[in-house]
Amino acid sequence: MSESTVLVLGSDPPPKLDRLAGRARVIFADETSLAGLLPTADVLLAWDFTSDAIREAWPEKGPRPAWVHTASAGVDRLLCPALIADDTLVTNARGVFEQPIAEYVAGLVIAMAKDFYGSWELQRQRRWQHRETLRVAGSRAVVVGSGPIGRAIGTTLLALGVKVDLVGRRARPEDPEFGLVHPSEALNGLLPQADWVVCAAPLTEATRGLFGKEAFALMPPRARFINIGRGPLVVEDDLVAALRGWRIAAAALDVFEQEPLTADSPLWDVPHLIVSPHMSGDTLGWRDALAEQFQDNFDQWSAGRPLRNLVDKRLGYVPVG
């Protein structure tokens, strides 16, 4: 294959693409220049995976990249009708974020169960106040999303002795790790028994607003809710009402409807809510891992071999298997 043109959306900080030297011409675009450069590119790397620019600039006709890779697990920020309909291949960063996110969720579960926040606050006040806390082993978690991230979360919680109900789009009996993957229509029947509800689902039209007033009403008062998926999976006003009304015990959000949160967002002051700035998968060296993954897939593409992590654009994620 002759030298290809790789267009990179975002350059802060720039990806380390040393292995493409002599094999590809690498050019960079920002949100204002992207539309004009798309027709010149063979490959598009969505390095800035928080941008909606690809969805807004994707051409409905004429030249366009043959392959788009996003440096994120989710593809909702780039998919649009024109991109879904054409022959462009889309891949994602499956394999980079799963275990870090699973560790983050496990940390939240332990911190909530053992009331670490309360200990820190009492220490700040120099108060000695003995309390009893919860056992993690023997509790039950409902993990919504049976892709690699949801499965990593589930297996990590299993290692802590948590009973895990994994929920996917459709039922998968005789699962080697979980016994059964429940179908999405079983979710409402599982929520009343949950001590922990973890949202790791992809954002699609079917899952948007999945956790709203009705879902929170089904959870028992002891339930703790965690979202590391996508912000629009949760109706934030309904979550706030559930927390302020003590209808659930606590929650943690790492993703939000609008990011970053503004300084005047009411979410900062909601009782029993932990807010973190979309960082659950970002461990030291994560950008280098993303760049290596893209270059490995570029080797596949250059050699005419099948791309790894190929997204089903109509489903909005990489199908299991």
Residue pair 144/201 in contact by the 8 Å Cβ criterion: yes
- Catalytic-labelled residue, pool 3, 56, 214, 259: 259
Establish whether 98 is a catalytic residue.
Answer: no
Sheet holding 179-182, edge to edge: 172-175, 179-182, 163-167, 140-144, 196-199, 224-227, 250-253, 273-275
For every residue of 211-261, DSSP letters joined together read BSHHHHHHS-TT-EEEE-S-GGGB-HHHHHHHHHTTSSSEEEES--SSSSP
Strand-pair partners of 26:
6
Establish whether 69 is a catalytic residue.
Answer: no
Name the residue among 53, 98, 94 with its Cα closest to residue 77. 53
Establish whether 121 is a catalytic residue.
Answer: no
Please give the single-letter amino acid code of residue 141: A
| Rg of the chain (C-alpha set) | 21
- Catalytic-labelled residue, pool 272, 278, 287, 308: 278
Name the residue among 101, 95, 107, 55 with its Cα closest to residue 71. 95
- In angstroms, the CA 154 to CA 55 distance is 32
- Catalytic-labelled residue, pool 94, 151, 224, 230: 230
The token pair that represents 216 in the structure block:
């929170």
Residue pair 306/300 in contact by the 8 Å Cβ criterion: yes
The token pair that represents 284 in the structure block:
């030291």
The token pair that represents 141 in the structure block:
């978690």
The token pair that represents 69 in the structure block:
């890779």
Q: Which residues are catalytic?
A: 230, 259, 278
